[in-house]
Chain A
Amino acid sequence: MKPFTLNHAQSANEALASLAGGATAIAGGTNLVDLMKLQIATPDELVSIRRTGLDAITPENDGLRIGALVTNADCAADLRVRKSWPLLAKAILAGASPQLRNRATTGGNLCQRTRCGYFYDTTQACNKREPGSGCAAREGFNRIHAVLGTSDACIATYPGDMAVALLALDAVVHVEGPQGARTISVGEFHRQPGDDPGRDNVLERGELITAVTLPAPTGGRQIYRKVRDRASYAFALISVAIDLSMEGDRIARCALAFGSLGTVPWRDPAVEAVLVGERPSPALFDKAADVLLRDARGFGKNDFKIALARRALAATLHEATKG
């Protein structure tokens, strides 16, 4: 670990001042400290944002405002979340371990970096870590990598669970920075790698996530289905977040987001369009999968994700639509 200084900001403004001065924000530290140990992240100056007071969950309009420093554990345990946005609680609880969730925060979770093994191994070429060095994963052991939204430069997934649920719930990220405050929909927060995979999201230098807001609950049936190699404490091979309402025997409304399938949390309006207004059936689910996977491309070890996505989608739709 490279020597660094650590300051504790006592307010969002103090934190913003430090960030403007070039400091890196540290929240729970569950991802950043690992990266620092391996010297993948080498900040000279850290500003801890844990004492900024941004850790409240408060009602806002008909929805909910979740402070950036609310821990994953607290968010998943919140009665309002569990009652009206169960998808979010389920997704969070499907991730990491209780110890990590006690520490990990809403803002940090959104910003967590990929789990691509080559990214974490400084003996390997990686465009995300070292622009222009190449992508060792592309022809390597890429079992956990993306099949949608990839580029020549990078095929890594955003690995998290919480953001997938937030995406299906139409959540919005609130940010403050040198240019003032702005909001970003979760769907626009993460960046596909393109030819600049070093940047995972659209945060600008000096910007701080202050909160995430949820719109009014839909009252739909919400399921988070995380497919993984072991029953707990493993990142998703694929996850599906769904918020669906029926009218009679037809699908009236459907929000569908996928994790670890693409380079970013994935939502495709065309898939939802196939489903809405239709009677659920295996054939319909297949048609939705055809649309979802129309541009899917495997890289060898992750080819199975294409078939898996089809089946995971069918399983989730089946569960969400059956009587």
Chain B
Amino acid sequence: MRLPLADLYNKPDERNLLDHTRQGIIGKPLDRPEGPLKVSGSATYAAEWKLPGCVDGVLVLASIAQGKVTKIHDKAALAMPGVLAVLADKAMLRRPAQGTAGKAPAQDVAKVEYFGQPVALVVAETFEQARDAALALKVEYKAAKSPIPFDPESPDAKVEKAPDRKAVKGGDLDKAMKNAAFSVDVEYDTPGHASAAMEPHATIAEWQDDKLILRGSYQMLAYNVKEIADCLSISPKKVRILSPYVGGGFGSKLGITHEAVAAAIAAKELGRPVRVVMTRQQVFQAVMRRSETRQRVRLACDAGGKLIGLGHEALVSNLPKEQFAEPVTQATEFLYGGDNRLLKVDVARISRMTAGSVRAPGEAVGMQVLEAAMDELAEKIGIDPIELRKRNLPGKVPVQGTAYSSRMLVEALEQGAQAFGWDQRNAQPCQSREGDWWIGMGVASAARVNMLIPAEARVTLKADGTALVETDQTDIGTGSYAILGQIAGEMLGLPIARVTVVLGDTSLPAGAGSGGSFGAISTGSAVMRACEAIRAKLADKLGCDAEALDLKDGVASSGDTSSPLEHLLDGGDIAEIGSIKPGKTALDYAQASYGAFFAEVAVHAFTGETRVRRMTGAFGFGRVLNAKTARSQCLGGMVWGIGSALTEELAFDLRDGHLVNHDLAEYHVPVHADVPAIEVILLEERDAAASPLQAKGVGELGICGAAGAIANAIHNACGVRVRSFPITLDKVLPHLPDPFAPDPFATAA
């Protein structure tokens, strides 16, 4: 029997079941069960599978940006030792698939759309042989007659409205700006980012008759199966993906990428398993980038510091026809008030690798700019930036009028401020100096939309009183294994040691996949519902109502009756599939996770180098499913925030469109020495509109605004306001006060 639980999440589930279950493991900081495998090198990542007869393929990238491949001189390459094939199949990918595409992206590698686009695959007995031949392969091109620009700011760049994003318009922003007691009208820019996952994109493809098995590194398997199948014109039923461990994705593995299709085609052609691992440089050049952005923010407020107008207009970029446009204004829509509003995103069509989801698309760069602009406004008004934020939290979403589900922004700002010691901050810049360093503090809000997406999971309560959770949900290093086990253990009254979680195999029910911070709550809800169905059956067996059933440590009880599960099950397993789909709650409530960032930085008075000295983040995202993995997500997000604020930038050469810094030596992500002590405060919250778990997404929250706090701290430290990220020393240097001046603030003025 299946419980009459509607798949669609139409009404907030106010029962709050997980606060009434008794196992007591939900929310606990349990270790990740796969952790020991990973730190001991025994978790098998995509490229590490050993398949008999497997050979290696290496992609060849275009050395022009736009045009056609006219000839591939493969003879010489084919004559090299070990070389088995040179492929440039029409089905090979020109662009990677966007997240949740579920169908083939642009194929046919004979057309070149951006510098570094894969145009061929060389397969050889060994990786070294394949790489040698790939480098030797001569490819002839014909340059495009009317190329499109490399630069989004070029007057020749075609600018369109973002295809997947409606502009928000309300009232009269120009007039509000005119009538404002205080206003800011500023333009910021942020550079392109690379996802920079530790594990490069890799696939081993193997055909068993007409069935394709891919061992790969992907985030959303149910969609990836369809994408691969569509690329190869086969039925999705013929494709199986195994992705038990994924070494980070950050959006770049949401959709399938070049190597997967190339490996599948080569394996078919050669009748042998083929492994294709993209090199670090190839990942940088061919996989998704985050678009650079130019953002104009207008803030108008009355004498009381209340926003009357808010504008956030962005220019982003992508290849022609791509639907994705970095949704810069996503959180601006609901975060602060101001009825006179204009929010929009335009997209310039340029020739650079595909732009897509990278670490909190939208909020990561949108919030850091909005929050820096808010700091500018607070300074103009002369009030504390926390106070400015608190004064501007609307009762309903402006323009749309939607109600909020839960929002712990005020609590986050207040508790964060307390823990950080915000009251020590001097509102005046250049007041605190230690040796050669200016010290400053900054604050920013965090906000990230919450998404529930379709998910299924099977839970089997075995006759021996253990449980098995199965879904194709991935764990990209975030803790899926841990939290799904905790949810099942909590719901079924089992210690965590009695729960096994199997993930990352598309022969299992389709989970949500990992992305957009939706994996835990979506697949977790499916697990919870499967467990509810099992609970109902157990209640039947025990002879009580499901509500009256108590499960703990493998014993079912109700009132005076109790029975160990092994007895109750009497030799039979109970297997249930739980599922969830987004429903009306997604429309009825504005759902988001919130938080606050506090940063203390030091800016070198002579050189302008900025180092973050400490950070505090306080976050409310509904129920905490596992305090350790949630904290790690927040920490990681804040580290990316440091990167976004200070170091990360894709540098393109605008003469030929190539990416100059295509490795981790020159694309600077923060290293240990850049990451100071970070304190994370998790606020307890329940959000029934978000999911039956009462939980919201947390994966990306830690980055959404973090760089703003750092930018604001830099200004507070040395009085320099840099409106171009990353804030490298060359941008600070020209505006620094005289390092030798006794009262530099006086000279700066």
Contacts and interface: CB of A to CB of B under 8 A. Distances in A.
Interface of A: 1-3, 37-39, 115, 117-118, 121-124, 136, 139-141, 143, 227-234, 237, 282, 304, 307-308, 311-312, 314-315, 318-319
Interface string B589-613: 0000000000000001111110100
Nearest to A37: B131
A311 B609 CA distance: 12
Nearest to A233: B671
B729 A139 contact: no
B173 interface: no
B458 interface: no
A229 B132 contact: no
Give the most central of B666, B670, B739: most A CB within 10 Å. Answer: B666
Given A1-B131, A140-B655, A315-B436, A230 B668 contact: yes
B135 A115 contact: no
Contact of B132 (A3, A140, A282, A304): A3
Contact of A308 (B436, B607, B668, B740): B607
Interface stretch (B1-9, B384-392, B646-654): B646-654
B131 A315 contact: no
Instruction: Bin the interface of chain B by size.
Output: 35 or more
A304 B611 contact: no
B733 interface: yes
A229 B668 contact: yes
30 contacts: A1-B128, A1-B132, A37-B131, A115-B665, A115-B666, A118-B660, A121-B658, A122-B135, A123-B115, A140-B655, A141-B652, A141-B653, A141-B661, A143-B730, A227-B609, A228-B609, A230-B673, A230-B674, A232-B671, A233-B671, A304-B729, A304-B730, A311-B606, A311-B733, A312-B607, A314-B606, A314-B740, A315-B605, A315-B739, A318-B740
Contacts of B75: none
A159 B740 CA distance: 30
A2 B607 CA distance: 43
Interface in B622-674: 646-647, 651-653, 655, 658, 660-662, 665-666, 668, 670-674
7 A-B pairs with the lowest CB-CB distances in the bound complex, closest first: A232-B673, A315-B606, A231-B673, A304-B730, A123-B63, A141-B660, A311-B606
Give the most central of A308, A318, A319: most B CB within 10 Å. Answer: A308
Interface of B: 63, 81, 115, 128, 131-132, 135, 436, 604-609, 611, 646-647, 651-653, 655, 658, 660-662, 665-666, 668, 670-674, 728-730, 733-734, 739-740
A211 B655 CA distance: 44
A118 to B, nearest CB: 8
A143 B673 CA distance: 23
A318 B607 CA distance: 13
B650 to A, nearest CB: 11
B740 A282 contact: yes
Contacts of A37: 131
A124 B657 CA distance: 12
A39 B137 CA distance: 13
A275 to B, nearest CB: 17
A312 B730 CA distance: 12
B733 A307 contact: yes
B671 A141 contact: no
Given A117-B666, A237-B729, 19 more contacts: A1-B131, A1-B132, A115-B666, A121-B662, A123-B63, A124-B658, A136-B653, A140-B653, A141-B652, A141-B661, A229-B728, A230-B647, A231-B673, A231-B674, A232-B672, A304-B729, A304-B730, A312-B606, A315-B739
